[in-house]
Structure 1
Amino acid sequence: MKKSTIVFTVFAVAIALATFNFTTRSTPTEAKGPGAHFVPKDPKTDNLLTSENTVLLVIDWQEEMLGMVRNMDREVLTNNIQAMIKTADVFDIPVIESTIGVELGANQPTVSNIKEFIPSDVENIDRISLNAWQNQAVVDAVAATGRKKVLITGLWTSGCPTYTALDALQDGYEVYILTDLMGDATTDAHNRAIDRMVQAGAIPFTWEGAGAEILRAYTHPKAMQDEEIEGGFVGIMKEHFYPFAGKY
């Protein structure tokens, strides 16, 4: 075989192999269905909120506190806490309810239009301490869930929720303060308390943001429907988010 023929043959084979490799490497996998490219994450170790790493604290939603809130409209604030509790219920997130001064006769229990949405098997923890984290039953209840991401709601912002958040952070929990689920007698008191918690390491968030982060994808089985709450999280959004958008 002539030298020129050998060179041409080797060159032709090289081109063929390069073409084959380019073709096999560059042909993308065809998507099959709307969720084909969704990348799942471990719900227990996820850095984001999930239904398996989060617990919700509902602190002091009592008439004595709610009636003094002035930084946000009461109807909007009530709507927001109802939405968050429903969201926790849809995603099977543990709810810990705590009040202050009920057994002492100083205050009334959780207001009825909020209490009705808290799962019936949740036993309220009444306290004498403004700081919920100074009540061992609250601390034990959070620890018993085995979850390290704590969503905190409560009244008034500058009091019980702040002290609780600061101590939970000190104990190594990742604290999310739901700023649209807190209220105070003045806007300044609310804002300064939020600033203090954030400076200490708390993460400011909203109920809708938390719910959407837990949902993660429309393929989530709790997105569209639920046996207990009609419409799933999407239904909660339609009932509680869209009608109140822009009102606070």
Structure 2
Amino acid sequence: MMVNSMLTLRAEASTVVSVDCQQKILSIVSDSDTLVPRAAKFVQAARILGVPVVRVEQNPSRLGPTVPQLAEAMGEVEPIGKMTFSLFRTAETEKAVKTAAAGRGKQLVLFGVEAHVCVLQSALDALSLGYDVFVLADLCSSVKPADWDFAMRRMCQAGVVVTTAQTAGFELLSSADNPCFKEAQSYLKQL
């Protein structure tokens, strides 16, 4: 059966990107106390399903590393630093995404902070590069809720699929017949 790639996520076509989930940023945004453990569970489920994960960090020398709980969920995934807000405007981070996505398809699943700055600019640039972009609204945050709200609206208007972590996770899982069903579901049910 042929499936429109913009309608349904597929594990074999997807790459997950964690955008700037660093303590100094997370300490000032809304709902970070729930965002971090949920993001870690989503990443664990994605990795079980064989979906590659890319970890980018904004100005890591000033803003520090990815928060430990999420970094642990990512395992051996090394962080790639950037100074630009869009990860596609830094050669190293753009290359990391292209390398992770090579031979897989053009579906990108983004989450992180801040929704109206780095996530938004990365999503819009990814669209312009031909990616099918999915943003996990419940794993994104901003200092001001209005900034988060308008970022989600703007991304929707531009053609980004805005969804939730659990919805995306179960799309990646796809079937109860999946050999990874039980293990992945144990994380997805907690989202």
**Same-fold call, TM > 0.5?**
yes
| 1:34-57 per-position Cα deviation (integer Å, ceiling 9, x unaligned) | xxxxxxx579x7962111100000
Alpha carbons 1:58, 1:152 under 8 Å: kept = yes
| 1:160-205 per-position Cα deviation (integer Å, ceiling 9, x unaligned) | 0000000000111100011011001111010011111111110001
Matched, 1:218 2:173: no
Alignment-mate amino acid for residue 177 of structure 1? V
Residue 79 of structure 1: how far off its partner (Å): 2.2
Matched, 1:64 2:28: no
* 1:234 aligns with one of 165, 185, 188: 185
- Work out the percentage of aligned pairs sharing the same amino acid: 25
* 1:206 aligns with one of 154, 164, 178: 164
Unaligned stretches of 5+ in structure 2?
A: none
Matched, 1:139 2:99: no
Residue 64 of structure 1: how far off its partner (Å): 1.2
C-alpha RMSD of the superposition: 1.7
Q: Which has the higher helix share?
A: 2
| 1:120-169 per-position Cα deviation (integer Å, ceiling 9, x unaligned) | 1x221101111111011222222222230000111011110000000000
Of structures 1 and 2, the one with the larger relative CO (CA 8 A, separation 6+) is: 2
Unaligned stretches of 5+ in structure 1?
A: 1-40, 225-231, 242-248
Any runs of at least 4 consecutive aligned residues in structure 1 with deviations exceeding 3 A, and if so which? none
Aligned residues: 187
Alpha carbons 1:176, 1:205 under 8 Å: kept = yes
Alpha carbons 1:99, 1:110 under 8 Å: kept = yes
Matched, 1:119 2:80: no
Matched, 1:86 2:16: no
Inter-partner Cα distance in structure 2 for 1:94 and 1:42: 23
| 1:72-120 per-position Cα deviation (integer Å, ceiling 9, x unaligned) | x222211221121111111010100010112xx3111001111111031
Alpha carbons 1:83, 1:207 under 8 Å: kept = no
Inter-partner Cα distance in structure 2 for 1:155 and 1:237: 21
Inter-partner Cα distance in structure 2 for 1:170 and 1:110: 27
Match of 2:129 in 1: 171
Inter-partner Cα distance in structure 2 for 1:117 and 1:234: 16
Alignment-mate amino acid for residue 95 of structure 2? D
Inter-partner Cα distance in structure 1 for 2:19 and 2:78: 13
Residue 69 of structure 1: how far off its partner (Å): 1.0
When the two structures are superposed, what TM-score results if normalisation uses the length of structure 2? Answer: 0.92
